[in-house]
């Protein structure tokens, strides 16, 4: 499993959120709070499932609570990914 970087995670999240909302990626700010994005709970669950498939590991159910923006979540994903990567 390759380590995911902050820019990779941020780009992935913005792309997926923009797709779910039907907007351009330029309309999804990394600093906006998830609860301001009009994602319903079903879309959020689908996004979480896609994220876990992409990452290869499950995130805590409280992850979005503690990391409420794309920028914060991307940093958390990169940190988790680095911790879970096999030692070289």
Q: Give pTM, 2 decimals.
A: 0.89
User: Looking at the domain covering 6-84, what would its CATH class be?
Assistant: mainly alpha
Retrieve residue 43's tokens. Answer: 């879309």
* Conformational region of residue 56, where left means phi above 0, alpha means psi within -120 to 50, and beta covers everything else: left
What are the tens digits of pLDDT across the range 44-87? 888 888 999 999 998 887 888 899 999 999 999 999 999 988 76
20: which residues sit within 8 A by CB, 6+ positions away? Answer: 39, 43, 46, 47
Establish how many alpha carbons lie within 13 A of residue 47's alpha carbon, considering only the half-sphere containing its beta carbon: 24
Q: How confident is the model at residue 1 (pLDDT cuts 50, 70, 90)?
A: low
Closest CA to 53 of 5, 27, 16: 16
- List the domain boundaries for the chain: 6-84
């Amino acid at each position: 499993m390759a380590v995911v970087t902050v820019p990779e995670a941020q780009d992935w999240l913005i792309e997926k959120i923009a797709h779910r909302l039907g907007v351009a990626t330029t309309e999804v700010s990394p600093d906006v709070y998830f609860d301001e994005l009009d994602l319903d709970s079903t879309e959020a669950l689908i996004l979480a499932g896609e994220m876990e498939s992409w990452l290869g590991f499950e995130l805590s159910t409280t992850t979005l609570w503690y990391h409420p923006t794309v920028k914060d979540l991307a940093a958390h994903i990169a940190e988790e990914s680095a911790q879970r990567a096999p030692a070289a």
